[in-house]
């Protein structure tokens, strides 16, 4: 068992509270700009992802990495979640996992 480096569920708002920490977020790809993905977070804001390969626009991508800015993540692992994903449910999970039920996750 190793719980030393958890990845916190975040949306754009919660991302700001975890600068320098390991986070996980799902974004919907808007565009790929020379190695940087620009996407929409589950709470409707813009997030940039560095160090990831390109993904097709409109795809949902889960990014696990380090929060290196208030709207930016340096990616370690990216998973293509396809074209059908419930962003509202994920956003609700972000709030629960950082609120009342934080002790189940961190």
Partner 1 sequence: MPTPATQIAGDPLSPAKNRGSQGALPLTAKQIAAADQSGDDKSALSGVDVTNVRLLGLVMNKVERVTDCSFTLDDGTGRIDINRWINEAPDANEVTAIQNGIYVKVHGHLKGFHSKRHAFAFSVRPVTDFNEVVLHFIECIFVHTEIKKIRGGGSAEIPTNLTVASSFPNGAKEYRAPSHQFSAYVAMDGPGNNIYNIVWGVFQEPANLGRENGLHVDEIVRKLGIPKNTVINAINYLVDVGHIYSTVDEHHFKSAYNG
Which residues of this chain interact with partner 1, rule CB under 8 A? 1-3, 6-7, 9, 24, 60, 62, 64, 77, 79, 81-82, 84-86, 88-93, 95-97, 99-101, 103-106
Q: Which residues fall within 8 angstroms of residue 84, CB to CB, at 6 or more apart?
A: 60
Minimal distance in Å, beta carbon 25 to partner 1?
A: 11
Residue (20 or 34) nearer to partner 1, CB: 20
Residue (6 or 33) nearer to partner 1, CB: 6
Half-sphere exposure of 45 (CA within 13 A, CB side): 15
CA–CA gap between residue 39 and residue 48 (Å, rounded): 6
Residue (20 or 82) nearer to partner 1, CB: 82
Minimal distance in Å, beta carbon 11 to partner 1?
A: 12
Of 16, 13, 15, 38, residue with least CA distance to 28? 38
């Amino acid at each position: 068992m190793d719980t030393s480096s958890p990845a916190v569920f975040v949306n754009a708002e919660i991302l700001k509270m975890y600068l320098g920490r390991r986070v996980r977020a799902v974004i919907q790809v808007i565009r790929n700009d020379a190695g940087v993905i620009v996407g929409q977070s589950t709470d409707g804001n813009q997030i940039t992802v560095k160090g990831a390969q390109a993904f097709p626009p409109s795809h949902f991508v889960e990014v696990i990495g380090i929060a290196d800015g208030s709207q930016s993540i340096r990616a370690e692992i990216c998973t293509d979640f396809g074209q059908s994903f419930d962003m509202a449910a994920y956003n609700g999970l972000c709030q629960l996992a950082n609120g009342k039920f934080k002790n189940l996750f961190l």
